[in-house]
Amino acid sequence: MSRKKTIDEAQLFQETEKLIMESGYAEFHFKALAERLGVARSTIYNYYPNKEELITSYMVRLLERAVENMDEAFEAEYPVKQLISVWSRYANMHQMLQIMPYINQKATPKVEENIRVMYTLFGEMKSKIHHVLKKEQESGRIREDIHMATMTGLLMATVQVPVHHNSLGQWVDEVYELVMNGCKG
């Protein structure tokens, strides 16, 4: 019995990201989303009760994956380079996270819950970076006279450095060089 669904969560998430990346959060509403999905606006309410829950659910999923991928750094030959590499792959996630201040965070209890989860995941992320740096310090590959928080901050800030030329690989090489050895070289 029953009727076939015309959309699923994957499509919903995909169009959510596309819409936000292309038009910004101000343009993110169910009317625009429905148009892209080719369904009536009210259909989306059968999947998510409001846009805040939809977007925060998506962001939680993004963050979870990023945090998982950070683990690659622990086994890599050049852990810091691996960190930068993983981090750079999540530039879009970073962009998504920047819209957090514009989300009505008190929309529903579920939204508040999602926000809490996001902060926890963000903490995990920082802690993994911290852990990698600490280990590098102990092996003497990283200096000890600068606060760990500053180094972690700089590393996370690198995601903002625009990718100018060619490949992401080259970007990672250059940024890694700068982060490790500085502009003086």
Partner DNA sequence: TATTAAAATGACACTACTGTCATTATGAAA
Partner DNA sequence: TTTCATAATGACAGTAGTGTCATTTTAATA
Site residues (vs a second copy, CB under 8 A)? 24-26, 80, 98, 101-104, 133, 136, 141-143, 145-147, 149-151, 153-154, 156-162, 164-165, 171, 174-175, 177-185
Q: Can you tell me the distance from the alpha carbon of 176 to that of 168, in angstroms, rounded to the nearest whole number?
A: 12
Residue 81 tokens read as: 């380079």
**Residues in region 107-136 near DNA by CB under 7 A:** 107
CB atoms within 10 A of CB 123: 11
Task: Decide: 41 and 34 in contact? Cβ < 8 Å.
Answer: yes
Closest listed residue to residue 79, CA positions, set 118, 36, 15, 128: 128
**Minimum CB distance to DNA, residue 119 (Å):** 23
Instruction: Write the DSSP symbol of residue 29.
Output: S
Which of 9, 18, 24, 29 binds DNA (CB under 7 A)? It is: 29
**Minimum CB distance to a second copy, residue 179 (Å):** 6
Q: Nearer to a second copy by C-beta: 43 or 105?
A: 105
In the complex, the residues that contact DNA under the rule CB under 7 A are 1-7, 29-32, 39-43, 45-46, 49-51, 107
